[in-house]
Amino acid sequence: MAEGIVTTTDAEFRGILEGRPEAVVEVALAARRLILDVLPQTVEVVWPTQRSAGYGTGPRKMTDHFAWILPYDRHVAMAFPYGVELDDPAGLLQGTGAKIRNVRLATLDDVARPELRRLLETAIGHRVPPPPAEITVES
């Protein structure tokens, strides 16, 4: 594995879900599976204090990541660091910040939307360096 690359375990990811309702846990796990399906060599970084996880081609939050998962009490936000610059014909992205936009995921059907997959595919190629071939994510 390349030096400086951060991957996490399933237990570390589940740690940020502790205390959340089961429906939110299921949505967060499905969102994680979707990201790993779209880019299997994704680098996952869990921030326990922030109760969030980032996904990218390296460990740096704004320069290497294309998405973040943030579980809340009633939904999961999938945030995109440069969401304002992404093509979003389905209008999934919400927010008013200068750069970041998010998609609210309240159900497993929200995660299964093909438009969300396309948005992730677009985000992976936008402002994110290509993924190193040797990275694997533990589960």
Give the chain's mean pLDDT: 88
| DSSP helix/strand/coil, 101 | strand
* Contacts by 43-51, CB closer than 8 A, 24 or more apart: 43/5, 43/6, 43/7, 43/131, 43/135, 43/137, 44/6, 44/7, 44/8, 44/13, 44/137, 45/6, 45/8, 46/8, 46/12, 46/13, 46/15, 46/16, 47/16, 48/12, 48/15, 48/16, 51/16
Instruction: Give the per-residue pLDDT at 138.
Output: 46
What's residue 21's pLDDT? 98
pLDDT at 139 (0 to 100): 42
Q: Which amino acid is at 51?
A: R
pLDDT band with cut points at 50, 70 and 90 for residue 128? confident
Torsion of CA 34, 38, 40, 43, to 10 degrees: -80
Q: What's residue 9's pLDDT? A: 79
Condensed to tens digits (0 to 9), the pLDDT of residues 26-35 reads 999 999 999 9
Could you tell me the pTM of the whole model?
0.87
Q: What is the pLDDT of residues 89-127, one digit of tens each?
A: 999 999 999 999 999 999 999 999 999 999 999 999 888
Does residue 62 register a pLDDT over 50? Answer: yes
Can you list the domains of the chain with their CATH numbers?
10-124 (3.90.1150)
The two beta strands, 101-105 and 76-80, are antiparallel
Average pLDDT estimate for 41-48: 90
Whether the per-residue pLDDT at 2 is higher than 70: the answer is no
- Is the model's pLDDT at 1 over the cut of 60? no
Q: For residue 6, what pLDDT is reported? A: 47
